[in-house]
Amino acid sequence: MERPRWWLFLLPGIVVLDLVCLCKAIESPHYAVVHAESDFEVRLYVNSTWMSAPVNELSFEKATLFGFHRLFQYIQGANLNSSRIAMTAPVVTSIVPGAGPFRSSAYIVRFYLPVKFQADPPVPLDELHLKPYTWNSRCVAVRKFSGYAKDENVAREAKRLAVSLSMSPWFNVTSTESNCSYSIAQYDSPFQFIHRTNEVWAYIKAPGANGCQPSGIASY
């Protein structure tokens, strides 16, 4: 399987992150599964705080590279407290249609802040052009896929999720509260060549009177 070459720019930092990940489990946002089918599930995520990097770029891969490079500097101490922040997962790249140059897609790359910094995130240096983002509790439809998330497969996986939703009780419930068409969540280092985990996320409104409530299937 071909490895994306643009990750070579992050090689020194990624090696360090790999060593950190081997030593301890990394934090992830908490959620409960409220609906599960063979090819997708619906999760209810709790409130959380992320650091976000907006990027105007045509390519999903380049946008993720450039956005994460700024976020990596931030967690390595490029903030007013000079705080070093542990790596978390996933790194999420959201596609914002029509917001880029010539009404092309733009992107927002987001980093989930560890519990230690959820209430009071270190302020990033101005030159990084980062913003804290409060992610209110919401329902998310999720489809997993393997391999590397690349320009040629992320839109295809998002379409597959849309098709699955169209044949489910969650048909036609994509949320209009988010300006993102979909997001790609990446969980693994680029040097993990097999058994990789990626996800397509679509924000949805829950159908029915009870809304998006945990069904007791699983919580994470």
Return the HEC string of the chain: CCCCHHHHHHHHHHHHHHHHHHHCCCECCCEEEEEECCCCEEEEECCEEEEEEEECCCCHHHHHHHHHHHHHHHHCCCECCCCCCCCECCEEEEEECCCCHHHCCEEEEEEECCHHHHCCCCCECHHHCCEEEEECCEEEEEEEECCCCCHHHHHHHHHHHHHHHHCCCCCCCECCCCCCCEEEEECCCCCCCCCCCEEEEEEECCCCCCCCCCCCCEEC
Q: How far apart are CA 104 and CA 100, in angstroms?
A: 5
Please provide residue 103's backbone torsions phi and psi, each rounded to the nearest 5 degrees.
Answer: 60, 25
The Cβ-side half-sphere exposure at 157, using a 13 Å CA radius, reads 26
Q: What is the pLDDT of residue 151?
A: 93
pLDDT at 5: 53
| Cβ burial, residue 202 (10 Å; 0-12/13-18/19+) | buried
Q: So what's the pLDDT on residue 101?
A: 56
The confidence score (pLDDT) of residue 205 equals 74
Residues of the chain with pLDDT under 50: 6-8, 11-12, 14-24, 102, 208-209
